[in-house]
Amino acid sequence: MEQMVKLIADYAAADEERRLSMYLTHRDLRRHFTAIDMAAAKQAGLERSEKTHAATAKHGSICIFGACWGWLKYCRSLR
């Protein structure tokens, strides 16, 4: 049981390559790993939508995927 908890904690702290390796290796823990990934994706989506809403309210423009357009001009520099 302690080993399972340690593996789940290691997965949460790992980078993408290590996570993939752990996901493929530990089939019995995939449900837990997926829950960790979904929680991170949900959090990232919430943060992105808050930024989009703040940018829209600030500039009066439409923001999609971090790019904001005013009436006819692009509001963010291209990098």
Mean pLDDT of 28-56: 77
Q: What is the pLDDT of residue 32?
A: 93
Q: What percent of the chain has pLDDT over 70?
A: 57
Mean pLDDT of 66-75: 54
Residue by residue, DSSP assigns 37-73 as HHHHHHHHHHHHHHHHHHHHHHHSSEEETTEEE-SSS
Give me the residue spans of the domains in the chain: 2-69
Q: Measure the CA–CA gap between 66 and 15, rounded to whole angstroms.
A: 24
Question: What is the sign of the dihedral through the CA atoms of 48, 53, 57 and 62?
Answer: positive
Q: Which position has the higher pLDDT, 78 or 15?
A: 15
Does pLDDT of 16 surpass 60? yes
pTM of the model: 0.55
First to last CA, the chain: 48
